[in-house]
Amino acid sequence: MALDTETPLNSLGFAKPPSETRVVVAMSGGVDSSVVAAYLADQGYDVVGVTLQLYDHGAALAKKGACCAGIDIHDARRVAEERGFPHYVLDYENIFKDAVIDEFADSYLAGATPVPCIRCNERVKFKDLLETAKDLEADCMATGHYIQRKMGTNGAELHSAEDANRDQSYFLFSTTPEQLDFLRFPLGHLPSKDATREMAAQYGLAVADKPDSQDICFVPNGNYASVIEKLRPGAAEPGEIVHADGRVLAQHDGVIHYTIGQRRGLGIGGLSEPLYVVKLDVDKKQVVVGPKEMLATRTVPVREINWLGDEPFTSRDEWHVSVKVRSTRPPREAIIRPLSDTTAEVELFTPEEGISPGQACVFYETGGSRIFGGGWIWRGY
């Protein structure tokens, strides 16, 4: 019997009616994922909402501005009830601690500046939760991330969101081709966050005006050091603040209280030149400071690379792309020189200041929207 080639693809890319297409929606309780769930339910899809309980830090549970707290689970459940689709809460606390929180603490103690939201997407949401979605016999999983998935000649491609101010590609560079096949991002094409809130209002969602989460979900008030001290008692060992020329300028209460590029709060006023943290030497318990020009870097060692290009990463000696070395900075032109399938040296055309081990280096198509993956910045030794 000939294949039916006339069945049109639905909005999620499947050749069957929405009612026969099951989609698991990862619901954080915020406005973005709530709109995704309501929109897909309204389109007639077989929606299943899933919310992850990732941590329980006492007072943090009642805290606004952090995802996955108690109030957020309640909000996600309410949306599901009102829109008439099933909703499950999964206890992922142990997985989250092992895969995200412990590494965050260890990286910070090693003088790095980690980005736990990337690890959460990579190791929890797009790994364990994605497998759970498959166990629920879903055709795909949808999230409220602002990023676009487009079909190219070689399959699904990752592209920046339409709204550059909301784009979350920096936090999703480690999404693999296999995961991309299964994932959908219905908000990536929207022109602004206002458009999302307008949709929420149209659907009558109680979260339409809910504030965006600002902090890392397990770091209340953005105080990283206090969380590290709880997780690793005794970690904040005192030491010296040292000028790059060797002068001891002051004492500190622990390297974990400082980040590369920091200028304020060093407690070394009265000097003729402004000084910045240029290095954290954990072994010597030293915070090394120096003039701003010492922060400028052209060469960035990168490892654990996830490559999303059409050709193998090592098939060329050089890739001419643009890269982001911090989430808040625009992509800048660079050359990637592969050293192996997962390691490379990145040369920046223009030096960047404050590049820190533990941050991500994400690869972009110069002048375009495609994301070619990325890797993790390290010290190179």
- 27 labelled binding-site residue: yes
- 28 labelled binding-site residue: yes
- 52 labelled binding-site residue: yes
CA 167 to chain centre: 11
Residue 120 is among the residues annotated as catalytic for this protein: yes
- 144 labelled binding-site residue: yes
- 380 labelled binding-site residue: no
DSSP assignment of 126-184 equals: IIIIHHHHHHTT-SEEE---SEEEEEETTEEEEEE-SSTTT--GGGSTT--HHHHHHEE
- What value does the CA radius of gyration of the chain take, rounded to a whole number of Å? 22
CA dihedral 118, 121, 123, 129 (to 10 degrees): 170
CA angle 283, 287, 288 (to 5 degrees): 110
- 58 labelled binding-site residue: no
Active-site choice (67, 68, 120, 140): 120
Do the bridges between strand 140-142 and strand 183-184 make them parallel or antiparallel, or are there none, so unpaired?
Answer: parallel
Measure the CA–CA gap between 253 and 245, rounded to whole angstroms: 22
- Two tokens, residue 111: 């003088």
Residue 67 is among the residues annotated as catalytic for this protein: no
- Two tokens, residue 369: 């929207």
- 13 labelled binding-site residue: no
Measure the CA–CA gap between 349 and 352, rounded to whole angstroms: 9
Nearest to 53 by CA among 217, 209, 277, 269: 217
- 225 labelled binding-site residue: no
- 49 labelled binding-site residue: no
Contact 235, 254 (CB under 8 A): yes
| Annotated binding-site positions for ATP | 26-33, 52, 144
| Annotated binding-site positions | 26-33, 52, 144
Report, as residue numbers or ranges, the catalytic residues.
Answer: 120, 217
